[in-house]
Amino acid sequence: MTADIAKLGPMLRTWRGRVSPDAAGLPSGRRRRVTGLRREDLAELAGISVDYVVRLEQGRHGTPSAQVTAALARALRLTDAERDHLYRLAGLAPPAEGEISDHIPPGLHRVLNRLGDSATAVFAADWQLIWWNRCWSALLGDPSARPRLSRNFARDTFAPAGAVPNLSHWPVTSLSQPQVEISVVSDLRRATGRFPDSARLTGLIRDLSTDSPRFTELWASGEVGAHREDHKIVQHPVTGPIAVDCDVLTDGDDQRKVVILTAAPDTEDETKFRLAVVAGSAHTA
């Protein structure tokens, strides 16, 4: 979706001018030269800087994030239709109604079917596992052996020390764990803007905030990351340790994540990867 910066600023000024300070809950008695909100008022209500508001209205800023856009919509008291228009002007998909979708469209299935030589899985916007292929099961163990609701990468990422993971049957070590943690928190923060009415997402964040001090720390700090690749060591019981590359692609407005695990070509790790797949196939045959 393409942003329309030229129209974003004028619309913000129009919406700002129609909101009375009383309606916004601002203290009365402030001296004003405008009938609506001042830029300082909007900045205060949205939790952003006045300079940021000025640059947005003058078209001198890129595009606001989903979190800032949601805060502006609330501060300006926009209707649902106006909120959706604001999101589109910012080049963002409007928040979806209801729950996070676990649906995988036909087009994505066609792409997934062409990735048969890699260990591939699909996660919903809240990092709930919703699909995996045969290579994924062979490399990490069959996820269907775990309770469905526990197959969540965010829960595994912030599980207490010593807890048994639910997405792998044997140890998997990330070589960039701090960055992965920041990325997962960023994804969940982004999902709250896309799916504000999701009880499932709300429950997940509540559980993680209760059970994980590390998650609570990152969530409170407002950390944002776009970490979309990792290197992992899989301690496979048949072949021994396998070094794999992990790439994450985000698909569509529903924020599905396609996770692809591969070994570097023409290496011992690739040989082990193929052996693990063969061993896994023989086990399930």
Report the run of H or E that residue 9 belongs to, with start and end: helix 5-18
pLDDT digits (tens, 9 = 90+) for 157-193: 999 988 889 999 999 999 999 999 999 999 999 888 8
CA dist 27 and 273 (Å) reads 65
pLDDT digits (tens, 9 = 90+) for 272-282: 999 999 988 65
Residue count of the chain, please give it. 285
Query: What burial letters (b/e) apply to 112-134, b meaning 16+ CB within 10 Å?
Result: beeeeebbbbbbbbbbbbbbbbe
pLDDT confidence tier of residue 247, bands split at 50, 70 and 90: very high
Q: Tokens for 4, please give them.
A: 């329309």
Report the pLDDT averaged over residues 15-19.
91
Burial of 76 (0-12, 13-18, 19+ CB in 10 A): buried
Lowest mean pLDDT among 66-70, 121-125, 244-248: 66-70
The per-residue pLDDT for 110 is 84
Mutual orientation of helices 177-194 and 199-211 as an angle, nearest 10°?
Answer: 140
The per-residue pLDDT for 285 is 42
Mean pLDDT of the chain: 88
pLDDT confidence tier of residue 261, bands split at 50, 70 and 90: very high
Report the pLDDT averaged over residues 215-240.
88
Q: Is pLDDT above 80 for 217?
A: yes
More confident residue, 146 or 35: 146
The per-residue pLDDT for 193 is 84
Instruction: Report, in this order, helix, strand and coil percent for the chain, each rounded to 5.
Output: 45, 15, 40
pTM comes to: 0.70
The per-residue pLDDT for 65 is 86
Determine the residue type at 31.
Answer: R
The per-residue pLDDT for 32 is 62
pLDDT digits (tens, 9 = 90+) for 135-165: 999 999 999 888 888 999 999 999 998 888 9
Residue 194 and residue 255 in contact, taking contact as beta carbons nearer than 8 Å: yes
pLDDT digits (tens, 9 = 90+) for 102-113: 888 878 888 898
CA dist 81 and 260 (Å) reads 37
Set out the domains of the chain in order of their start, with CATH numbers.
5-89 (1.10.260.40), 106-284 (3.30.450.180)
Burial of 202 (0-12, 13-18, 19+ CB in 10 A): middle
Q: Tokens for 188, please give them.
A: 């969940």
